[in-house]
Amino acid sequence: MPRLWLSALVCLLASPVAHAEGGWPDLSQPTTAAIPRPNDVAVVIGIEDYDHLVDVPGATDSAIAWHRWLEQGLGMPALNLHLLVGSEATAQAMAAAVTEAALDAGPEAAFWFVFVGQASPSCDGSDVLFFQPDAGPEAPGYIQGAFTWRSLEGLLEIGSQQRNIVLIDASINQRDRSLDKLGCEMLPVMPPIDLAPSEHTVLITAAQDDELAGSLLGTELPAFSTLMLGALRGWADGSGDGQVTANEAVEWILGVLQATERLVPQSPQVHGAGGSTPLVTAALPSPDLDNTLYDVARYQAQVRAESLAWSPPPPPPAPEQPPVEPDAAARASHDQLTSEMRHLGSRNAWKGVEQAFLDLEGLAPSGIVPSIEDLGLGAQAARALGKVDAVYSRLERLEALQPSLETRQWLDELVRSYGRVKLHDRPGGASLTAARMPMAPDQRTAIEAAISQVADSGRFTGRLPWGVYALGDRRFVVLPGERELEVVIRRR
């Protein structure tokens, strides 16, 4: 009964899981599987605390992790590495570090530039500004003093390196050009920012121009720069050729971001023609992404389970008209259906119980209201058939009529174990699959019912147990909570 499933949930969520922050793999420790590149040079910048702009949580840790990976993972000498974090990262220091690194770069080298912080297009849309920690409208001349994309491009030309790899983990979008952030005069139509790198430069930004760069689910780690470290371990090597190209890295990161909850979309983007350029070679084989996401889902479900609990809904408004008094025929129908439900329930014939309960609900215009026993049998039938929303609503009605610890525990289990989803595709389109089927029979049945409904209609709206799913090729993570996750397969 309900207590058994609640116990199973607690045991599963309490099982130990090896994880870093938020249940994600620990990417702060580098691997040494990539072919060493001792001639490469790098400038890594991480600015977390801003005096006048929104802070960027985790930027410092991300920059340090990148510095560690470049040194230990790619075998880059310490003399070739420049790390600027926090107050060190002034516009002048950024320009000096890029200049020094470019002068040290040889013809076989790659120049890595990684920026994690706040950035924005300039007021006229002709440049990108990389803000130093004290940037803001209250800091006179801060726009003129910012380190810019055009400055970076010019300084990169000083070196004789073979290629440049520029990774910008910041929101560079047109909405940022406002009185609040830049002090610009608002224009009726903002000109689009044009990031067109040279043929020797691979430029990847964390988000498109109408999106925001954010954090990984359940963490304060910058999503793009953190996941890029995973991609460059070889996790994004979709072709299996031992190389990770810019396009492969972006596609892998986008898949992870799309799978996890995001209030604001984030789509990393390769600018220019450098998408096919290999970023690393001889990297580690990719782990199963479903397993990685499942570990995250399990960790996040545990965190949420500790804070979620069922709460009674507000009382319904008083009816405008007095309730209808059932007549003798309606009462007789009710008695017959209740007797049928008892009989079928004793034989575990839950389809028949469900149909009888629905017939009973159809007597509402005659003034028939399901009894406590009716609602209990109806909830059990709905659970056996995977109709989780129906279980939830019938239990709430049961609790309103006869409060009990058992009913509240059952409702708590649903709140802590399931998340709401809305899936859209055409009939006969993508199939719904679960990365792992849960052990609890009612949860398995709920998933199977959703799979069947998607197969029939291409749509499903309701509750699914927490976990990792896919609608066709589109992965998504379901977590307990009030927010409904919508997954839409768009077809041309």
Predicted TM-score of the model (pTM): 0.86
Residue 9's pLDDT is 40
Q: Give per-residue pLDDT as tens, 388-408.
A: 999 999 999 999 999 999 999
Around 379, how many Cα atoms within 13 Å sit in the side-chain half-sphere?
A: 23
* CATH 1.25.40, the chain: domain bounds: 328-416
136-160: string of b/e by CB count within 10 Å (b at 16+)?
beeeeebbebbbbbebbbebbeebe
Query: Model confidence at 32, in pLDDT bands (50, 70, 90)?
Result: low
Average pLDDT over residues 29-37: 74
Average pLDDT over residues 214-240: 92
Closest C-alpha to 297, from 50, 489, 467: 467
Neighbours of 103 (CB within 10 A): 12
Instruction: Evaluate whether 131 touches 47 at the Cβ level (below 8 Å).
Output: yes
Averaged pLDDT score across all residues of the chain? 87
Residue 186's pLDDT is 54
Q: Give per-residue pLDDT as tens, 334-374.
A: 999 999 999 999 999 999 999 999 999 999 999 889 999 99
- Answer whether residue 3 shows pLDDT above 60: no
pLDDT above 70 covers what percent of the chain? Answer: 89
Report the alpha-carbon angle 160-163-165, nearest 5.
130
Find how far residue 428's CA is from the centre of its chain: 27
Residue 238's pLDDT is 84
Amino acid at position 225, single letter: S
* CATH 3.40.50.1460, the chain: domain bounds: 26-285
Amino acid at position 375, single letter: L
Closest C-alpha to 468, from 285, 248, 289, 224: 289
**Alpha-carbon distance 421 to 478, whole Å?**
8
Q: Which of 68-82, 154-168, 178-192, 398-412 has the weakest average pLDDT?
A: 178-192
- Answer whether residue 4 shows pLDDT above 60: no
- Answer whether residue 75 shows pLDDT above 60: yes
Query: Model confidence at 171, in pLDDT bands (50, 70, 90)?
Result: confident
Q: Give per-residue pLDDT as tens, 76-125.
A: 999 999 999 999 999 999 999 999 999 999 999 999 999 999 988 877 77
Query: Model confidence at 7, in pLDDT bands (50, 70, 90)?
Result: very low
Query: Model confidence at 2, in pLDDT bands (50, 70, 90)?
Result: very low
- Answer whether residue 19 shows pLDDT above 60: no
**Residue 44 Rama label (left phi>0; alpha psi -120 to 50; beta):** beta
Residue 51's pLDDT is 86
Which pair of structure tokens corresponds to residue 110? 């790659």
**Alpha-carbon distance 340 to 342, whole Å?**
5
Residue 57's pLDDT is 95
Burial of 378 per CB tally in 10 Å (0-12, 13-18, 19+): buried
Query: Model confidence at 18, in pLDDT bands (50, 70, 90)?
Result: very low
Residue 405's pLDDT is 96
- Higher per-residue confidence, 384 vs 321: 384
Q: Which fold has domain 26-285?
A: Rossmann fold (3.40.50)
Query: Model confidence at 21, in pLDDT bands (50, 70, 90)?
Result: confident
First and final C-alpha spacing in the chain: 47
Q: Which of 11-20, 91-100, 175-184 has the weakest average pLDDT?
A: 11-20
Q: Which of these CATH numbers, 1.10.12, 1.10.357, 3.30.499, 1.25.40, describes 328-416?
A: 1.25.40
**Alpha-carbon distance 214 to 116, whole Å?**
11
**Alpha-carbon distance 490 to 472, whole Å?**
11
Residue 492's pLDDT is 65
- Helix residue spans in 119-173 (DSSP H): 142-145, 149-156
Residue 143's pLDDT is 58
Q: Which of 70-74, 279-283, 449-453, 459-463 has the weakest average pLDDT?
A: 279-283
Residue 183's pLDDT is 60
Residue 12's pLDDT is 38
Amino acid at position 16, single letter: P
Q: Give per-residue pLDDT as tens, 238-280.
A: 888 888 999 999 999 999 999 997 777 899 999 988 889 999 8
Residue 151's pLDDT is 93
Which residues of 282-341 form beta strands (DSSP E)? none
Residue 341: strand, helix, or coil? helix
Query: Model confidence at 282, in pLDDT bands (50, 70, 90)?
Result: low
Average pLDDT over residues 302-318: 88
Burial of 490 per CB tally in 10 Å (0-12, 13-18, 19+): exposed
**Alpha-carbon distance 464 to 479, whole Å?**
9
